[in-house]
Amino acid sequence: MRNSVFGTLKTYVRAANQWLLRTPERALNESYEAALTIKGIEDVHFGGGKISPDYGTYSKSAQDYFQAELKKYLNIAKVRLTEFKTSSSVLRISNQQITEIQVAEDSTDLQNINVIDRQALILKKLRFIDEVVARYSAEVPRSSVIVLPKNTQPAQMSQVDTDGSRARNVARSQEQVEQTGKQAPTNVESISDKTGVLPRSILKTVDRIKRELDPKAEEVVVENFRTSKSRTIISLRFILLLVIIPLLTQQVSKNFVVGPIVDHFRQEGEQVGVFLNYEMEEEALDELRRFEERIRFEILIGKLPPVAEEEIAAEIRSKAAEVEEEYRQRSSDAIKNVFADIFALGAFAGVIATSKREIAILKSFLDELIYGLSDSAKAFIIILFTDTFVGFHSPHGWEVLLEGVSRHLGLPANRDFIFLFIATFPVILDTIFKYWIFRYLNRISPSAVATYKNMNE
């Protein structure tokens, strides 16, 4: 027994040792794969250029999607490259004087390894990763660069840029030009490049005609259609998953996990109360009182034959037993709902946490769908949402919703809390709507804002 335990421990230690020794290679391969993915996107969708709005003919939503993919794979490449450097310095695998290479007993893929070829392969991968990462690390945003004349004084430059960072960059570039006599290779776009001799709309029209006359225009259109179709399918599938997975989790956990446990502890009525709160008890008493009054009323109008008080009391006791069983079941369902909803919320959070790529695709899909609507459709949707959630009749809807949630969880409907919620939350929501219209929609689609104001008036 002792030998088997030591043998198992030795196996685990050996496996951990092999995993640790392969950490640099694994990290380098993952960084290299991320760089290859970025290069593949450049070659397929941007003609070999950088993933940037300056290249390609895609819409804003598609550009946002490509930027999200670029950011994700750049982070992977940088993190894995850092892991490779750290693990390499610890394990010293980059030293050319390798005296021993450990090979697993059941592995034959490392028997004929060539150390020189291996070092050359590592250097080749590192060079490729550095080229891809440096291509985007050296990128300078257009809005952060200004070209000034040579004779611009520091005081003038400080007036152009309050923080002085852009002025220092321009001054440094001017010094390089004066010393070398050559313009430094930068990504600076001057003001003359932005304006140009012809209006930008005419240049865009010419570019569009050139793209339409391109022999590969059909392939580009088909590729764009496939990308749009794939984005739509992924978005709809992700929305269904966000709805179906929490619902299934809630029902399965309620019926097969939480339900049997709650029923086991509540099967004896003497030990556990029937009602969870006083409101349920009041509802049961009102129901029993109405039943008794109905019997007596039907006897008085001759609908039922006259009966003795003992028979009426027996009918009331029978109804009381039914009401007790009904409210006992309602109390059990409320307890089950609390724990089942927790499981459903955890499932929803798990789907969100493991679907960052799908969330980015869904965001681009919704942006393209919403901003692609007409101005009247945008105004109609905004008015519908605002009137539903923050309009004149919205307090009644919020009141019904909060009472339903309280009944679902078996909590007493606190009228003070409900009124306080209705008095504050719709106001906050209305402020958010107005800020969104003023800050974003007014900049993206001013005509939709004008249509919204006219329809609201």
Q: What is the pTM of this model?
A: 0.52
Q: What is the pLDDT of residues 67-102, one digit of tens each?
A: 888 888 888 888 888 888 877 776 654 444 433 344
Distance separating alpha carbons of residues 375 and 121, to the nearest angstrom: 57
DSSP element (H, E) containing 249: helix 217-252
33 exposed, middle or buried (CB, 10 Å; 0-12, 13-18, 19+)?
middle
The alpha carbon of residue 27 and the mean position of all alpha carbons in its chain are separated, in whole angstroms, by 26
Distance separating alpha carbons of residues 165 and 287, to the nearest angstrom: 76
Residue 193 is predicted with a pLDDT of: 43
CB contact set of 62 (below 8 Å; sequence gap of 6+): 224, 227, 364
pLDDT beneath 70, residues of the chain: 1-10, 12-13, 15-20, 55-57, 90-117, 138-201, 203, 268-272
The structural domains of the chain, with segments of one domain joined by +, span 2-139, 244-356, 373-456
The alpha carbon of residue 60 and the mean position of all alpha carbons in its chain are separated, in whole angstroms, by 19
Structure tokens at 164: 């002085």
Q: What is the pLDDT of residues 271-327, one digit of tens each?
A: 567 787 888 888 889 999 999 999 889 888 888 888 888 888 888 899 998 988 888
Distance separating alpha carbons of residues 247 and 253, to the nearest angstrom: 10
Q: Which of these, 451, 230, 235, lies nearest to 363 by C-alpha position?
A: 235
Structure tokens at 453: 């104001």
CB contact set of 177 (below 8 Å; sequence gap of 6+): 150, 183, 184
Distance separating alpha carbons of residues 64 and 72, to the nearest angstrom: 12
Residue 201 is predicted with a pLDDT of: 65
Q: Which of these, 141, 170, 143, lies nearest to 154 by C-alpha position?
A: 170
Distance separating alpha carbons of residues 145 and 136, to the nearest angstrom: 16
